[in-house]
């Protein structure tokens, strides 16, 4: 696949992930605010306004987190553009997933002043998280695994 095709693939994946993320987050929060309650030994749905980043670091640092998110998004897109010739579709997919997660949290910080979290794991002590956080973690873990596999070849 050529450079244009790879970039188009990246953009389509990103747009799909960001719209899916925002749509599902809005549905989750709307249902939780209207009384939806799910709880079992594995997880609960629990609406939380998060003014910080992962694991409650940088609480009430909205502007800094917005700046860091914008920088991360620009760097990710620049990386894709710079390496279009050699980048794999799998890498494009996971960078798009990671970017959509960052952009989802960025959107909420700008639009609401906080990130809306709602998934809570009940079997371990773990912070409440959202779909954007899942996208970010899956993207990062997949990219790390791909880098490690490439290094061992």
Q: How confident is the model at residue 61 (pLDDT cuts 50, 70, 90)?
A: confident
Is the whole model's pTM more than 0.95, yes or no? no
* 88-118 confidence digits (pLDDT tens): 999 999 999 999 999 999 999 999 999 999 9
Q: How far apart are CA 153 and CA 123, in angstroms?
A: 37
User: What is the rounded radius of gyration, in angstroms, for the C-alpha atoms of the chain?
Assistant: 17
**Which residues are marked as active site?**
117, 133
């Amino acid at each position: 696949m050529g450079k244009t095709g790879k970039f188009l693939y990246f953009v389509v994946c990103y747009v799909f992930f960001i719209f899916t993320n925002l749509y599902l987050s809005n549905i989750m929060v709307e249902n939780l605010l209207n009384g939806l309650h799910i709880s079992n030994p594995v997880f609960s749905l629990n609406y939380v306004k998060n003014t910080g980043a992962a694991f409650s670091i940088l609480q009430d640092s909205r502007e800094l987190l917005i700046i860091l998110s914008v920088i991360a998004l620009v760097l990710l897109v620049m990386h894709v553009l710079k390496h279009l010739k050699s980048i794999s579709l799998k890498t494009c997919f996971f960078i798009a997933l990671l970017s959509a997660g960052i952009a989802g949290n960025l959107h909420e910080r700008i639009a609401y002043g906080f990130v809306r979290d709602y998934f809570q794991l009940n079997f371990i002590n773990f912070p409440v998280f959202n779909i954007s956080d899942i996208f970010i973690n899956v993207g990062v873990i997949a990219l790390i695994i791909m880098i490690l596999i490439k290094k061992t070849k």
